[in-house]
Chain A
Amino acid sequence: AQSVTQPDIHITVSEGASLELRCNYSYGATPYLFWYVQSPGQGLQLLLKYFSGDTLVQGIKGFEAEFKRSQSSFNLRKPSVHWSDAAEYFCAVGPRSNDYKLSFGAGTTVTVRA
């Protein structure tokens, strides 16, 4: 069965510091991979996605993620965090087919301190 694990429930980071959020997945084959962000009171917004090709993908808001097949991981990074990055972040996986249903991780809440 497919599953997505985000090991960190909550991360606190100082403004200007780097951020890394971990995501590991268990899937029958290499899935499509996504990171979504949920700001308070809002729906989820796509940050970035990996379908194929370069394993380092760039997203919006200065985020990037690296797909590592050998580790079944898709970790999200940002070199310098801004206060507006305080949110909840979700990793998601989906099948490489037209049967387009995503499975989400439990989420990581990021707090940014001044």
Chain B
Amino acid sequence: DADVTQTPRNRITKTGKRIMLECSQTKGHDRMYWYRQDPGLGLRLIYYSFDVKDINKGEISDGYSVSRQAQAKFSLSLESAIPNQTALYFCATSDQGTNEKLFFGSGTQLSVL
């Protein structure tokens, strides 16, 4: 089983709909992140959380919200989806103690029509 699991893998939705992307991890890491990937732009940080009670905006948080339900779960919501939120979304985790690498999920491809 994957250490960082994202659901769904693919989602097509319509403009104005509310969407939730879910991420769960079995690595026991405190830190979790949401990134979006767009061609030619690389990965950009949407939100991050260093522990259950800590939520921080990244560089492109407008139009998004997050919930850290537990150490292992970090959800990303689009309250009212718009077409320019069509992208590949990645969840990642890291271990606070070692300042080590990020561990990524396999991504969620979201298309907003």
Contacts and interface: CB of A to CB of B under 8 A. Distances in A.
B63 to A, nearest CB: 19
A20 B112 CA distance: 37
A98 B102 contact: no
Contacts of A6: 42
Interface residues of A, number: 23
Nearest to A46: B101
A11 interface: no
B101 to A, nearest CB: 4
Nearest to B99: A100
A69 interface: no
Nearest to B48: A101
B22 to A, nearest CB: 15
A45 B107 CA distance: 13
Interface residues of B, number: 23
| Secondary structure type dominating chain B contacts | strand
A104 B43 contact: yes
B42 A106 contact: yes
Contact of B58 (A46, A90, A100, A101): A101
A58 B43 CA distance: 24
Given A43-B107, A44-B90, A34 B101 contact: yes
The 6 closest A-B pairs by CB, nearest first: A43-B104, A46-B101, A104-B42, A104-B43, A106-B42, A44-B104
Given A34-B101, A90-B43, A100-B94, 14 more contacts: A4-B42, A6-B42, A36-B102, A44-B102, A45-B104, A46-B102, A49-B101, A90-B42, A100-B31, A101-B33, A101-B45, A102-B45, A103-B45, A107-B42
10 contacts: A43-B92, A43-B104, A43-B105, A44-B92, A46-B102, A90-B43, A104-B35, A104-B42, A105-B42, A107-B40
